[in-house]
Amino acid sequence: MKSTSMKTNKRFQNLKKWKLHASAAAYLAGWKVVRLLPEPVAHRLFSWAAVIASRRGKGMDQLRRNLTRVVGAENVDRALVKRSMQSYARYWCEAFRLSVIARDPDVIHRVDAHAVGVEQVNPHSPMIIVLPHSGNWDLIGMYFVKKVGTFTTVAERVKPESLFRAFVDYRRSLGFEVLPLTGGETSPYSMLLKRVREGRTVCLLGERDLTSNGVEVEFFGETTRMPAGAVKLALDSGAPLHVAHTWFEGNDWGLSLSEPVEITDVKSGVQAIAQIMEKNIKAHPEDWHLLQPLWISDLDRRRYQSGLQQKHD
C-alpha cells in the first residue's frame, strides 16, 4: 500500500514538473512572437484577451475585493474590472516588447511629459526607490537606466529555472542589474547595501511581501504585511528613500517620485510608504495590478478554504 502511494505521488510530481516546463516553453515562445507582431496588432490581441478574462477569468473575485478596498464597493463595476484587466494586459504586452520600445527615441520624452518629481533623480547620488506593481514598472526601470546609467533590483526566483534565467537575461540586456530573491551566492540585502554605498540607485517593488517576514501595516483600512528591506537599506546607508508610482497616460506613461520619506525606525518607515502608495493607487486604481490576496483577512480565508478542501479530499 505504501509502495503504491509513493508511486502515485511520484507520477503526480512528474506530471506537475512536465506541466511547469510545458507552460514555460509556451510562455517563452509567445514572448518571441509578441515581439515580432506589429504594435497595434499585439495591443489589440492583449486587450481582447483582457476583456474575455474580465468576464469569467480566474482571479476576478479577488480583483473585485482588492478594488473595493481602494474605491469602495459602490464603485467596483463591470467597467472598472474591464479597465483593470486591460491595463494588466497592456503591462504584459509592453513587457514582452520592451526591447522594441527601447529603440523609440521619444520614449523618455513620453514619460517626462507626464512625470512629477523626477528632477530629484541624480546619477551621482544614491537613491532607494520603492514602487507598487502599477502601470509598467519595467518601462520605468528602463527610464531610470537612461537617467542614472543602471540600477539594481531584486526578482523572485520563478520556476522553472529556464524561465527565471530568461527573465533575468532580458532585463539585464536593458541595463538592469537583477539579484535573485533566493538561491544567490550572497544575500540580496548585502549586495543592495553595497550598491547604495557605492552611490548607485536601487529600485524595489514594495507592496507585496514575498518572504513572509514583512512588517504589519494598515493599508486602505486593513492590515497587511509589506517588505521592510528598502527601509532597512535607508537606515543602514543614510541614502534617501523615495516612493515612485507609474500609470498609463493614454498611449504614454506617467511617473511620480515622492519627496524623501522621513524614516526613524523600520515599522513607521514602512507605514509611511504604505500611506504614500495609498494616495497614488487611489489616483489610478485601474492601473494597480493586484489579482492575488494581499490583506491578512484574505490570506486567512484562502488558508481556511484550502484546509476545508484538503479535509474534504
What pLDDT score was predicted for residue 311? 40
Position 146 in a domain: yes
Position 186 in a domain: yes
Identify whether residues 113 and 224 lie together within a single domain: yes
- C-alpha 305/C-alpha 307 separation (Å) is 5
Q: What confidence tier does 24 reach under pLDDT thresholds 50, 70, 90?
A: low
Identify whether residues 159 and 10 lie together within a single domain: no
End residue of a domain, out of 63, 95, 127: 95
Bigger pLDDT: 21 or 192? 192
End residue of a domain, out of 95, 116, 138: 95
- C-alpha 158/C-alpha 167 separation (Å) is 9
What pLDDT score was predicted for residue 154? 93
Identify whether residues 221 and 141 lie together within a single domain: yes
Percent of the chain scored above 70 by pLDDT? 88
Q: What confidence tier does 79 reach under pLDDT thresholds 50, 70, 90?
A: very high
In three-state secondary structure terms, 72 is coil
What pLDDT score was predicted for residue 12? 47
Identify whether residues 79 and 12 lie together within a single domain: yes
Q: What confidence tier does 309 reach under pLDDT thresholds 50, 70, 90?
A: very low
Q: What is the mean pLDDT of residues 169-192?
A: 89
Identify whether residues 67 and 145 lie together within a single domain: no
Identify whether residues 63 and 161 lie together within a single domain: no
Which residue type does 147 have? K
Query: Which of 208-213's residues contact partners 24+ apart within 8 Å by CB, and which partners?
Result: 208/133, 208/292, 208/294, 210/156, 210/181, 211/181
How many domains, the chain? 2
What global pTM score does this model have? 0.87
Mean pLDDT lowest for which of 22-26, 71-75, 173-177?
22-26
Bigger pLDDT: 155 or 228? 228
Position 252 in a domain: yes
pLDDT reading at 129 higher than 50:
yes
Position 313 in a domain: no
- C-alpha 72/C-alpha 229 separation (Å) is 31
Q: Give the burial string for 113-141 (b: 16+ CB within 10 Å, else e).
A: ebbeeeeebeeeebbbbbbbbbbbbbbbb
Q: What is the mean pLDDT of residues 116-133?
A: 93
Mean pLDDT lowest for which of 36-40, 74-78, 255-259, 273-277?
36-40
pLDDT reading at 264 higher than 60:
yes
Most confident of 21-30, 162-171, 255-264, 298-307: 255-264
pLDDT reading at 285 higher than 90:
yes
Identify whether residues 140 and 201 lie together within a single domain: yes
Q: What confidence tier does 9 reach under pLDDT thresholds 50, 70, 90?
A: low
Tell which residue, 232, 239, 241, has the closest CA to residue 260.
241
What pLDDT score was predicted for residue 186? 83
Identify whether residues 90 and 112 lie together within a single domain: no
Mean pLDDT lowest for which of 77-91, 265-279, 295-309?
295-309
| 215-219 and 222-226 strand pairing | antiparallel
What pLDDT score was predicted for residue 304? 42
Position 299 in a domain: no
What pLDDT score was predicted for residue 83? 98
What pLDDT score was predicted for residue 310? 45
Alpha helices in the chain (DSSP H): 2-36, 39-56, 60-71, 78-96, 98-101, 107-112, 137-148, 161-173, 188-197, 229-237, 266-283, 296-312
Identify whether residues 124 and 44 lie together within a single domain: no
Tell which residue, 97, 99, 149, 91, has the closest CA to residue 122.
149
pLDDT reading at 1 higher than 70:
no
Position 153 in a domain: yes
pLDDT reading at 307 higher than 60:
no
Q: What is the mean pLDDT of the chain?
A: 88
Identify whether residues 36 and 136 lie together within a single domain: no
Q: Strand order of the sheet with strand 127-131? A: 115-116, 252-257, 241-249, 127-131, 201-205, 151-155, 176-180
Bigger pLDDT: 217 or 13? 217
Position 297 in a domain: no
Residues linked to residue 223 through DSSP beta bridges, in sequence order: 218
End residue of a domain, out of 62, 95, 128: 95
What's the first-to-final CA gap in the chain, in angstroms? 18
DSSP element (H, E) containing 179: strand 176-180
Identify whether residues 60 and 143 lie together within a single domain: no
The residues annotated as belonging to the active site are 133, 207
Q: What is the mean pLDDT of residues 217-221?
A: 98
pLDDT reading at 284 higher than 80:
yes
Position 301 in a domain: no
Q: What domain range is 50 assigned to?
A: 2-95
Q: What is the mean pLDDT of residues 252-270?
A: 97
Identify whether residues 163 and 77 lie together within a single domain: no
